[in-house]
Chains A and B, each alone.
Chain A
Amino acid sequence: MRQVAWAAAMLLAACYPGGAETVTDLDSVTTQHDRSASFSTLRTYALPDSIQQVSAQGGQALPMDHSYDTQILAKVASNLDALGLQRVDPTATTPDADVLVTFTATRYVDYASYSFYDMWPGWGGFSGYDGSWGVYYPWATSAAYVSVLDAGSLRIDMLDTRTANPSTKQLTAIWNASVDGVLSGSLDSIAKRIEKGIDQAFAQSPYL
């Protein structure tokens, strides 16, 4: 009976599926939109010539490389043009929508304590200790296990200038896209993944 239970447990453990295996497996594109917005009546848009960096909460901001800004903005513009929208100079013509592109690069550091004794129970090196003991790291603020993750997001916001509300001083964001992923690999490969993500953001927004 015990052997059967062991065999079943081993089979279950052996077959337990893994998750992401490469950095690109963690890439994702999220879009949201205002369901009451009138996308079909949009005719013109304005797009700044730069990408601005925004700080994310809960992490440490990483420096941003702007060498691919032009390429990324061109990709956003080409997708908007493909929708039939016309890019205008906002100093000369009031656009129906302002499209803003921002980037966030953040390092998340997670401090997690762990019980070493429970992980190697009965090991001779821990004789005299038990689960009530912890590990002290003199260089850390507390007994901690540290993991680091660098994550980045390119965000596109479409603001409807036609419904600007002077009394509340608010512009309504009618569409938002976020291209998210782990910052790993060469700048060139990251830029390609971002461009692919921008195309996907428009592809999965058929209402635009």
Chain B
Amino acid sequence: MRATRTFLFLGILASSTAFAQSNFRISYEFAVPMGATKDYIDRFSSRGAHLDASFELSYAFHLELSAGLNSFNAVKQGVLTTTDGQDVYGKQFRYLNVIPLMGGFAWHIPTGRGGRIWAGINGGAAYFERVVDLGLNEYSQSDWQWGIQPHIGIAFPLDRGTALFFDGRWNYFWERHGIPAQQYFSFGVGLLFSGSSRK
């Protein structure tokens, strides 16, 4: 019941005050693995994309919804110990696909004529799909992991309602089901499409 009320409240907020400064962002993303993610794949990723929706709840304060994909890959020669106790040596073609689904809040400061800077934090989960092709076999381990995603961005107006933006995110996901904590830093470039701007 409380959850229903919360959703209703957020819905009313969204439909009345908001959307004046709401915006949608689509970006191409690059990513640098860190920590245990780097131990698995020690290679810069140039394959990723994000879609973000930002709804103004009150002046400068936004509700953020975010979905994305970051794909990593690397080749490593070595021994892979499988969950059933096998030690398998060979050329490992390692893949990691991360699909983060997040929600959170951010502060957007207009810089005039559709430009803005923002900073915020998202929380949610990501689906981690790890695949290793080794020899004639494929080994995989996939699961959801909870995490947070602090992010910043800056947008430069291109024309009415459209802006070019750059953003950066630190993605951290807690250990779950024996899979160690994962983290990577991603940065993107994309287009921001906004509603009517507030003077």
Residues on A facing B (Cβ under 8 Å): 1, 4-5, 7-8, 11-12, 15-17, 19-20, 25-32, 35, 149, 151, 180-182, 200-201, 204-205
- Pull 26 A–B residue pairs with CB atoms less than 8 Å apart, ordered by A: A4-B190, A4-B191, A5-B26, A7-B28, A8-B49, A12-B71, A15-B46, A19-B93, A19-B133, A20-B133, A26-B90, A27-B90, A27-B135, A28-B90, A28-B136, A30-B86, A30-B88, A30-B89, A32-B86, A32-B87, A151-B136, A180-B135, A180-B136, A181-B135, A201-B89, A204-B87
Check B91 against A25 for contact (C-beta < 8 Å): yes
* Beta-carbon nearest neighbor of B137 in chain A: A28
A-chain residues with CB within 8 Å of residue B93 when the two chains form the complex: 17, 19-20
A205 engages B87 (CB within 8 Å):
yes
Whole-angstrom CA separation of A135 from B193 in the bound complex: 48
Q: Which residues of B contact A30 (CB under 8 A)?
A: 86-89
Cα(A27)–Cα(B136), bound, Å? 8
Instruction: Kindly list chain A residues whose C-beta atoms are within 8 Å of the C-beta of B190.
Output: 4
Question: Once the chains are docked, how many angstroms separate the CA of A7 from the CA of B26?
Answer: 12
Residue of B nearest to A201 (CB): B89
For chain B, the bracket of interface size reads: 20 to 34
Cα A20 to Cα B86 in complex, Å, equals: 22
Nearest A-chain residue to B94, judged by Cβ: A17
Task: List the A side residues contacting B49 at CB < 8 Å.
Answer: 8, 12
In the assembled complex, which residues on chain B have CB atoms less than 8 Å from the CB atom of A28?
88-90, 134-137
- The answer to whether B89 touches A11, judged by C-beta atoms less than 8 angstroms apart, is no
CB distance from A4 to the nearest CB of B (A): 6
Chain A residues with CB under 8 Å of B26's CB are 4-5, 8
**Hey, which chain A residues are within 8 Å of B47, CB to CB?**
11-12, 15-16
- Cα–Cα, bound, A17→B71 (Å): 10
- Assuming the A-B contacts A19-B93, A205-B87, are A11 and B28 also in contact, with contact meaning beta carbons closer than 8 angstroms in the complex? yes
Q: Which B residues are CB-close (under 8 A) to A151?
A: 136
Question: How distant is the Cα of A31 from the Cα of B87 in the complex, in angstroms?
Answer: 5
Q: Any chain A CB within 8 A of the CB of B36?
A: no
A86–B150 Cα gap in the complex (Å)? 62
- B71 CB contacts on chain A under 8 angstroms: 12, 16
Residue of A nearest to B81 (CB): A204
The interface centre, meaning the residue of A8, A29, A30 with most chain B CB atoms within 10 A of its CB, is A30
Is B8 close to A, CB under 8 A? no
B60 on the A face (CB < 8 A): no
Measured between beta carbons, the chain A residues less than 8 angstroms from B79 are 204
Q: Which residue of A lies closest to B190 (CB)?
A: A4
Closest B-chain residue to A200, C-beta based?
B89
